[in-house]
Structure 1
Amino acid sequence: MAAAVVAALVMLTACSNTPPPPVVGTVPPVPSASAAKPGEIVVGVDSIAGGYNPHVLADQSTITTALSTMLLPSVFRTAPDGSPQLDRTLMVSADVTRTEPYTVTYRLRGDAAWSDGAPIAAEDFLYLREQMRDEPGGVDSAGYRLITDIKSEESGKVVQVTFAAPYPGWRSLFTSLLPAHLLKDAPGGWDQVLESTFPATAGPFSIKQLDAPRGEIVLERNERYWERPAVADRVILRRADPAGLSDALRTGHDQLVVARTDAGGVAMLQALGDKVTVKAAPRPAVVSLFLRPAGTDLADDRVRTALVNLLDRDEVIRVGTGGGPSVRADALVLAPSQAGYGPTGPLAHDPAAAQSLLTQAGYSLVSGVWTREGRPLVVTLGAPADKEPYVLVAKEVQRQLVAAGVQVKLVTPAGDQLMRSSGTEAGPNILIAPRPVGDSPAAVMASVYGCPVRSTDATQAPPGNLAGFCDQSLQPTIDAALNGSMALAEAIGIVEPRLWRQAVAVPLFQSADSVAARAELSTGDLTAPLNAPFASAVSWQRKQN
């Protein structure tokens, strides 16, 4: 799931449900300064950097959400009220058909197919489940690890999925299905999936051009899509800086802006007045700090707690959000945008408590540096190089800890490399990374804080969570929330206080984009949870003047 910047122009023209396959070639670039043409909607964004795999933490971004929402098929999609809703453009039905063993039967539409003519079928379900079960750094992988069997019937259009235990959150699975027939044997494996483009699509839009150096992605209506066609002929995602985004919106070159903004960027958009409507759309990620409870120093929870107490979290959040629409987060499972959210943490900036804890752990402050037995306290702090605001946050954390006497080595590899190394001996002690926000909070809790689950292959080490954390005494409660035998709120009430005391994670803020739309653009809900604002792209329309 490499998050790499595309170095070459790639164009993929989506094809029909019947062969021949898509044609790959080059397309003359659209001048970035030109006004939108009739039937064309231009969306200003702050980045189009890849990768674009929605199932891996390293690729989480606004552009990944945009492309997966418009190009990939999903069994369920999140409704404006936050509930999962069956996507009937792909599905006939999806129901629990047996309770022992717990089985869900999925019936896919017979006409649903990838752009190269291959049917969307059981092999796509199987491929996604295998990757989410076996590969590290997945988003909400716990639900997939409950699956014990997937059977195909009726030429793959009926899929029987069996679980090891009841799983009320099953509707959160099998979103953004991937074309297994093209990816299962692709060079580079899971790390390279959707790194720079999409080998096939199955939605109302298809990719005509992806030009990362120029900062532009052109999507066209998929004329051979089997369902209701998109209203717009073309949607263009075009990168610009805050001033450029505001200017393009003002002049009508852009009809919509979806971008990470600081206070200055928000002010520029709001200054456009009645020309635009400006709102905030929460992203499905909470920027968080994870402390790995292992190694010479951080295995001691007194040291981890001391490091947390040394941080001025308010200042870290201020630097990370820049005064933009992102919202402070004070809980370890639920995000501010989710129902039932409330602050749960006892966090405080307390240098005196930190000094006491480090002293108890055997450290002394010598010439401004915390040392033990002649060795300085050194931590390695990791953040993905290719996705902001993580490096920005990491630099502020580094500055504060160094000022407090802790030596910090900052590493910023590509996101996929960082996530793959997290929780391993070679990985960083402290990680700045996204905590996913999903339709199944119990699955998020299990994926982020649960112990590794070994697969049927005893020779394969199970992937761990971001912090390499496992508390066996908490696992029964996490499992009970996952299988529905304990209410989520009750489980959170047991798990979160223990997690706070062990200082393995510190939430910072839920990322959010500024969404600014010109008055002539007719859209659906632009701030719906998890996939805003692109869930309504199929119906976007420019009003005639």
Structure 2
Amino acid sequence: MRRAGLKHLTGTSAIFSAALLVSCMANPGPAPTVDEQEELVDASADDEPSADKEADKASDDDAEVADGIEDEEGPDRSSMSVGIDPFQLGFNPHLVADDTELVDALADLVLPSAFHGNIIDSDVLNSAREIDAPPGVAQRVRYSIKDGAQWSDGTPITGADFDYLFKEMVSTPGVREVAPYRAISALNISAGGSIVTVDFSTRVADWHRLFTHLLPSHLLESGQFDRVLESAIPASAGKFSVASIDQARGLITLNRNDRFWGKNPAKIDVVQLRAIRSTSQAANLLRSEQVSFVDISPTQTLKEQLSLLGDISTESANPSRQLRLSLSTQSQVLESPQLRRTMLSLIDTRQLARLATERDVDLRVPYGGNPLLDSSSEEEIAVLAAATKDNPLRIAVDPTEQAAGIAAMTLVDMLRIEGIEARVVENRMTSIVEEALPEGEVDAVISTADTSVTAANVASFFTCHADEKTAAAAASTTAAPTSAEPAPTKSESPAYTQQKLWSGNLSLACANDFDDRAQGILSGEISAQQGLEMIRQVNREQAFYLPLIDETRIRAFDEDSLGGSLSTLDEIDGRSSK
């Protein structure tokens, strides 16, 4: 039997159920001004609640949030609540620094995409197809934007949004899946902004992955790409819009986008994403039905605690995301593959993973442990120790990533035991990838890496050397299409050079054959899986990175429901809330 609890976030179960059964087209009202959009986003508090106070506040916060929906939104608005991990600011799905399950889920809900997988989004586009390319152009694709497609402030989606994303992707350090964007040689906008023609310097077989999660260029073009979505998403073109982001309370509120023009607008009015700060809080919220489901990182006792609820199902999920240690080729200390390999051989990744996550259950350590562990001789370790005596290794980490921070401190302790001097350098991940790494200010970084085996992601590892010439070419791509840019000149020596504006890997390495490999993967001549094997082979030879922890998530939901996860939030239309 289902235990007694809150049957609806607003206290009105019957009204909520009825609301889900009724589907109606959106009825866009007057477009809000930019100022009104900005006022919807709550500024985060300067001070986070301390760990000692969080447990005491949990029950009070739960009650406040449950009451808040009814107070602020009205009792007749259908709502649902979802438990998530505590989050930090930064919501740009195109940045390595913001690569989380939450950011990807939010982007799916509020940002438009040309395609979802290989399926065209017919709400956004009339068509997207390859057309005959003129001489000198390897491939040409034409997009036709649908009439009525618009942002939540009433501004139409146009080719300017495509152009903005392309230019920022090829000129910003630390972006995800950059390879197909780097293959673009020209982008032309016509028919009043409704037609976008894209030329490529090399074939991109999986061009459908381009222009995913378009951004509102009219609101963002004057800002820095790595910061424009730092604390808000100011306009939506999906079924939902971001009403507020309250980091202090751990609460993100999404409202139904009443300006959504598509065939299937959202049937739920309000979705709240609520940070779960403890195992007991997760159990309490599920027990009392204050959340429909939770999708969070494991703790040592999470599954055990949830198993006592009886009618709650739990499952483990393994996203394509990994905590990884990357060694910089810009480092004066780790200047050779042998020195990098020696350093990696001193790391017990199984112990580091347990300490960093504070658990030994639901813990996935790549390869079952470090394959290089204890492989270096005493002489090799002594050489590295001597190199770090006056120049301690600097391990960079973003302090807002808790597991990465603990991993960095643990790594420093492991190295010092072996006589290797090292210290932790804390900074924002955007600053690390834009400044600290390319300027040689740090020797290594611990961060999240996307491990999805797609042509775009794998080819991006081999995509390198974006310089001023590349940026200048991007700045002129709105002119009439011309012949493809000539292939970059390959470096004669050394075999591995160092990048200033890198893209696919944090080692900043670039070899003579990297461009050819990237082009082969993009064109489909080399499969994504074969490309992955190439990456692994290069890493075995050069010791660029060491996988530390593969991400695991726990999803818990009522056995009577259809389940739920952040990755399927865009399918919530027909899901009932408890």
- Using structure 1 for the length normalisation, give the TM-score: 0.83
Secondary structure of residue in 2 paired with 1:283: coil
* 2:206 matched residue in structure 1: 169
Q: Once the 2 structures are TM-superposed, how far is the Cα of residue 376 of structure 1 from its aligned partner?
A: 4.5
Q: CA deviation at 1:201?
A: 0.8
The letter for the 2-side match of 1:42 is S
Residue matched to 2:129: 95
Query: Could you say which residue in structure 2 is the equivalent of 1:204?
Result: 239
Distance (whole Å) between structure 1 residues aligned to residue 360 and residue 207 of structure 2? 37
Q: 1:283 aligns with which of 319, 327, 337?
A: 319
CA–CA separation in structure 2 for the residues paired with 1:329 and 1:49: 26
Partners of 1:307 and 1:354 within 8 A in 2 = no
Match of 1:50 in 2: 89
From 433, 457, 460, the equivalent of 1:444 is: 457
The 8 Å contact of residues 145 and 194 in structure 2, kept in 1 or not, is answered as yes
1:497 corresponds in structure 2 to 537
Root-mean-square deviation over aligned CA pairs? 2.9
Distance 1:409 1:118 in 2: 49
Which of these residues, 135, 150, 164, is aligned with residue 113 of structure 1? 150
Tell me by how many angstroms 1:381 deviates.
Answer: 0.2
For 1:324 and 1:62, the matched residues in 2 are separated by: 20
Q: Offset at 1:410?
A: 0.1
The DSSP-based 3-state class of the residue aligned with 1:262 is coil
Query: 1:465-493 CA distances to partner (integer Å, 9 max, x unpaired)?
Result: 41121122444233322222233344444
For 2:229, the equivalent position in structure 1 comes to: 194
Aligned length: 493
Output aligned runs, 1:11-160, within 5 Å.
Answer: 16=28, 19-21=31-33, 23-24=36-37, 25=39, 31-34=64-67, 39-78=78-117, 84-98=118-132, 100-160=137-197
1:348 aligns with 2:362: no
For 1:455-474, list aligned pairs within 5 A: 456-457=469-470, 463-464=501-502, 465-474=505-514
The answer (yes or no) to whether the contact 2:78–2:269 under 8 Å persists in 1 is yes
> What is the one-letter code of the residue matched to 1:130?
K
After superposition, the C-alpha distances for 1:118-155 in whole angstroms (9 at most, x for unaligned) are 11111111111111100101011121111111111222
Supply the AA of the counterpart residue of 1:236: Q
Contact 2:459 2:517 in 1 (8 A): no
Tell me, which stretches of 5 or more residues in structure 1 are unaligned? 1-13, 79-83, 331-342, 364-369
Shift of 1:18: 5.7
Instruction: State the secondary structure of the residue aligned to 2:243.
Output: strand
Are 1:15 and 1:116, in contact at CA under 8 Å, matched by a contact in 2?
A: no
Verify the 8 A CA contact 1:75 1:90 in the aligned structure 2: yes
User: CA contact under 8 A between 2:459 and 2:531: conserved in structure 1?
Assistant: no
User: Once the 2 structures are TM-superposed, how far is the Cα of residue 519 of structure 1 from its aligned partner?
Assistant: 3.9
2:404 corresponds in structure 1 to 390
2:550 aligns to what SS in structure 1?
strand
* Partner of residue 336 from structure 2, selected from 280, 290, 300: 300
User: Is residue 260–residue 512 contact of structure 1 (8 Å, CA) maintained in 2?
Assistant: yes
Q: Which residue of 1 aligns with 2:518?
A: 478
Give 1:371's aligned amino acid. A
Structure with a larger share of its residues in strand: 1
Equivalence map 1:485-524=2 (5 Å)? 485-519=525-559, 521-522=561-562
Aligned partner letter, 2:102: I
Which of 407, 411, 424 pairs up with 1:410?
424
1:30-74 Cα deviation digits (max 9, x unpaired): 822549877211111221321111110111223312321111111
User: Within 1, Cα distance between the matches of 2:267 and 2:231?
Assistant: 27
**Distance (Å, rounded) in 2 between the aligned partners of 1:320 and 1:15:** 49
2:274 matches 1:238? yes
Contact persistence 1:281–1:512 (CA under 8 A): yes
Structure with higher Rg: it is 2
**Matched residue type, 1:355:** E
Aligned to 2:260: 225
User: Match of 1:541, SS?
Assistant: coil
For residues 34 and 516 of structure 1, the distance between their equivalents in structure 2, rounded to whole angstroms, comes to 23
Structure 1 stretches of at least 4 aligned residues deviating more than 6 Å after TM superposition: 26-30, 35-38, 458-461
Counterpart code for 1:210: I
Contact 1:232 1:541 in 2 (8 A): no
